[in-house]
Amino acid sequence: MAKGQDNRHQGDMGPAGGDPRPEPASAVLTTRFDEAVLYATLVHGGQLRKGTPIPYLSHLLAVAALVLEDRGDEHEVIAALLHDAVEDRGGRDRLEDIRARFGEQAADIVEGCSDSTLGDGEEKAPWLDRKKAYIHHLKTTKNRSVLLVSAADKLHNARSVLADYLDIGEELWPRFKGGGKGTLWYYREVSAILADRLPGSASTRQLSDTIDRLESAVFEREGWRL
């Protein structure tokens, strides 16, 4: 593993959106990345993917890999590993711990990828309200890194949903608070925003293709479309 700090700054979105950042060199991963892998393992220890025996860490590693493949820098890859830590494991206290350990840039990305920063035991807003707020956030954020990590997150989730749907069909939907129609609506909305604001991303393109396949499978099996 290469040593040394990656000094490239995370790209902010220009006023017109789009994907203005020039093609970067391969990310340099330092011991900060190693520490983030261990931190994610400890924070999400014992957590499983919804309705499966699969360790939740598999999702975090997959999202980090997608960000790397999309030419993300070390700040973005660390944020990919930690993107659910605030929402699922400790709220704002967790966010400040991430900021202290991994720096402002990684913490800002994690915060931007979280639909809630409430702590354990605090009641979150209803699912639909949180998703609408997050959709608005994706439309307006000027932080390109948030879009990049979100695209990777949603792509891996959508791939998992598609694979499980092809396996068990409509029995899948009770796992999700939005049910089938709410889940498809949310992914389609996010995909459209990312296609507009981050068109150069491989994750963005693959997310759109995956949602198309999921919608086709649902129509073939259940007979409905959004």
Catalytic residue check, 87: yes
To the question of pTM greater than 0.85 for the whole model, the response is yes
- Look at residue 180 and tell me whether its pLDDT is greater than 60: yes
Residues 6+ apart with CB under 8 A from 46: none
Closest by Cα among 110, 113, 119 to 137: 113
- Look at residue 62 and tell me whether its pLDDT is greater than 60: yes
Determine which one of 19, 88, 164, 215 is catalytic: 88
Determine which one of 73, 84, 87, 108 is catalytic: 87
Mean pLDDT of 70-89: 96
pLDDT of residue 8: 37
For domain 31-222, is the CATH number 1.10.3210.10? yes
- Look at residue 150 and tell me whether its pLDDT is greater than 90: yes
Digit-coded pLDDT (tens) for 99-113? 999 999 999 999 999
% of the chain at pLDDT higher than 70? 88
Residues 6+ apart with CB under 8 A from 159: 210
Q: How high does pLDDT run on average in the chain? A: 90
Distance CA 103, CA 137 (A): 22
